[in-house]
Structure 1
């Protein structure tokens, strides 16, 4: 029993599902439910989880958060602290303490990590010495797979040869830079540092080292970013020589500086959903035209050096051990968000506690939820995998929804596979979340019957 009249679940029947199947996109990621754990039990529950020494069967990743930026981009919801040497040094000292403590736990040592991601914020605001030290500490204290991917995220601004070479010396083997656009007007409106030409030259310089994959993010839907500008941004990816690219859309500016600037007339409105759908279509067609290897609905690689292991695992199926103020992760069925307040984080670490502000117990079938997320991220859902994760034939039970999606131009369905169309790829997070919710409800109905 599926509510096939609810167009927020099924989408609407339209000649143009890419642009109009749903009113708007929701969040950037899909997921399952969780129940808050009382703050009084946080330390005990984390101790129990990290004391578990039997290795899990799935992949695991490490995420390290560096919550500093010199400038807050107008579209960004992750800004925490303005960069200052004194604050960064104090933070780094506490981060090393947390790193060493968590690395020593039985859970951490029970199995190797497949990918490490240093995110932010702007991790490249760390000094050259700190970048090298952080990489070496991770290699020293954490069990890593032989082909472990260690990604350093950041800006090209002030990321000179000294920092790049120190990061390489520390063992980082992948670098991701938020270019967003190569157009200077678009970049300035978004409060990105450096003109577009400078961003292009710096990426080309880093690629010329031939020492590690260089990956860039491009963001579509920004103010001043017309279709012509977006086409030049796509051309800029190939001109830069980068080994891979993520094409992300501007989703929601609610409460962000961009919204305030648009409301007072300092910026033109960003692109609406149909225009962003057109930009996505341009990007997909461009990558196919130039034979870029597709890794997900939003990520492409120029060659085999770019693997995007962290993104393919952490956003879908892996357990993620978080480090740093504002980092999020999941271990042993527990979902957690660490303290964002810098003083609270440092005090908690120095007191020998886990600096967690919110701990939740995941609900439902984690394997099923993660499997759906991973499948829709890739663009194809297999009956066998879905049913194996669910423990029953939910593929057949969900067939009325699949057929409705097919009628609405979002998927192509067969006996064994559900494949996303271009429209489905654009709306993949929405579809994944709708299927997660639908299968959960169908399972309740099945058990009740």
Structure 2
């Protein structure tokens, strides 16, 4: 592994500093690191001990000053997208009806804990899967249950995730009547050829028309996701995708890099020679640059390294809070959460999850104890996500900045940041590699500082 000697004579590994390159956007690092890279193993509890510890925290009123959110998981999809590694259950109306009844039961039970009642929630996110596959009646019921049983802040963002396919006017109105005020749709690409290869339903013309209808209603915030690096994408049709974002009238857009996984249909096809190898990271970096520059020219507000807003109503509050280390109450099979710093993932298997509900306990395999420096790590992640690392954002920020100067200097030399006395601003290249920088800074602090 290559290393860099800094002005303080500290020798830092290339995985922290990146490498010198004529194009740091493309080649500063050999690959992107995971968004949730572990910095040391967190201790865990299992079995009855884990359930007793969790119950102790749930029965105690909240004392944390951190914001909080609710995540509700609906693990059903009618079609498995080629790039997806998270498919759990095919949408069957009977299975979904049975699941929804249990979901109601769990939601009501979890609202009764002292922890849940002690403080209002800042955001609610209903994800999946494809939550929009629920019926109109279920969407109305779910929204009303959330508002009835949980205390929510005045500006609480309640997001419903899903597809535009079969998201009828009846479903939209039912969700609005239930209290949903934000909708996030996985468009991935507007291009019909790209969509077909990714097993996305509906052609470009319908997607644009439906988005126009939803945004023109003025009833809620409408956001979409796009993925760059998909099969059949070119700089030309990617540019058209970006232009379609503007013409669709949506209030927000995420640009996500395609990552292939062993369990995805796309990766299986690549391994079998039935699909072309996806674009390299360096090629996808240029597509990120293309999107970044386009939205800057269109005067979109950049909320994070991958999210832009065309209207002030779009805040992307849940995603922002999650990156800040917010406490998250999980509801549903496969939902992940964070209670007083204790992390857990509920059972993905519906039968296991059902057993937990029927026996009045949460079905999860283990409970992760709070990580050392968890708040500092969350602050670093959030800062890199927003593109500016400010000393004022950290406890003992000036001391931290002083001790991190060797790392910041290396980043600056490698074209990833610009620096000032009390802040580090990520360049375009730094934003593309922001997750690498966040993980590097967290590791650097653990290994080379006294903080």
- Distance change >3 Å, CA 93–CA 412, structure 1 → 2: same
Counterpart position of 2:364? 356
Q: Does 1:206 align with 2:214?
A: yes
State how far apart, in whole Å, the 1-side matches of 2:38 and 2:69 are.
18
Pairing 1:159-178 to 2, within 5 Å after superposition: 159-178=167-186
Paired residues of 2:10 and 2:406 also in contact (CA < 8 A): no
The alignment partner of 2:83 has SS state of: coil
Paired residues of 1:293 and 1:302 also in contact (CA < 8 A): yes
Pairing 1:268-283 to 2, within 5 Å after superposition: 268-283=276-291
State how far apart, in whole Å, the 2-side matches of 1:193 and 1:32 are.
39
The alignment partner of 1:37 has SS state of: strand
The alignment partner of 1:393 has SS state of: helix
Q: Does 1:284 align with 2:292?
A: yes
The alignment partner of 2:34 has SS state of: coil
State how far apart, in whole Å, the 2-side matches of 1:55 and 1:394 are.
26
Structure 1 unaligned runs (5+)? none
Pairing 1:315-330 to 2, within 5 Å after superposition: 315-330=323-338
Q: Does 1:237 align with 2:248?
A: no
CA-CA distance at 1:429 after TM superposition: 0.5
Paired residues of 1:62 and 1:320 also in contact (CA < 8 A): yes
Q: Does 1:408 align with 2:419?
A: no
The alignment partner of 1:197 has SS state of: helix
Q: Does 1:419 align with 2:389?
A: no
Paired residues of 1:32 and 1:364 also in contact (CA < 8 A): no
- Distance change >3 Å, CA 426–CA 4, structure 1 → 2: farther
Paired residues of 2:46 and 2:365 also in contact (CA < 8 A): no
Q: Does 1:16 align with 2:26?
A: no
State how far apart, in whole Å, the 2-side matches of 1:145 and 1:47 are.
25
Counterpart position of 2:5? none
Aligned to 1:437, which of 426, 443, 450? 443
CA-CA distance at 1:32 after TM superposition: 5.0
Q: Does 1:393 align with 2:394?
A: no
Paired residues of 1:4 and 1:10 also in contact (CA < 8 A): no
Q: Provide the aligned length of Structure 1 versus Structure 2.
A: 443
State how far apart, in whole Å, the 2-side matches of 1:2 and 1:48 are.
48
State how far apart, in whole Å, the 1-side matches of 2:293 and 2:306 are.
12
- Distance change >3 Å, CA 205–CA 32, structure 1 → 2: farther
The alignment partner of 2:396 has SS state of: helix
Aligned to 1:305, which of 300, 313, 316? 313
The alignment partner of 2:224 has SS state of: strand
State how far apart, in whole Å, the 1-side matches of 2:35 and 2:186 are.
16
Q: Does 1:133 align with 2:118?
A: no
Deviations for 1:200-223, whole angstroms, at most 9, x for unmatched residues? 111111112110011000100111
Q: After superposing the two structures, state which structure 1 stretch, 72-81 or 146-155, moved more.
A: 72-81
Q: RMSD between aligned alpha carbons?
A: 1.5
Q: Does 1:256 align with 2:258?
A: no
Counterpart position of 1:97? 105
Paired residues of 2:300 and 2:308 also in contact (CA < 8 A): yes
CA-CA distance at 1:257 after TM superposition: 1.2
CA-CA distance at 1:255 after TM superposition: 3.4
Aligned to 2:200, which of 173, 192, 195? 192
Paired residues of 1:31 and 1:370 also in contact (CA < 8 A): no
TM-score calculated relative to the size of structure 1: 0.96
Deviations for 1:291-336, whole angstroms, at most 9, x for unmatched residues? 0111111111111111111111112231111110001110111000
Counterpart position of 2:33? 26
Paired residues of 2:242 and 2:291 also in contact (CA < 8 A): yes
Q: Does 1:83 align with 2:91?
A: yes
State how far apart, in whole Å, the 1-side matches of 2:210 and 2:134 are.
18
State how far apart, in whole Å, the 2-side matches of 1:3 and 1:183 are.
49
Q: Does 1:142 align with 2:158?
A: no
Counterpart position of 1:340? 348
Structure 2 unaligned runs (5+)? 1-7
CA-CA distance at 1:260 after TM superposition: 1.2
Paired residues of 1:4 and 1:404 also in contact (CA < 8 A): no
CA-CA distance at 1:396 after TM superposition: 1.0
CA-CA distance at 1:3 after TM superposition: 5.9
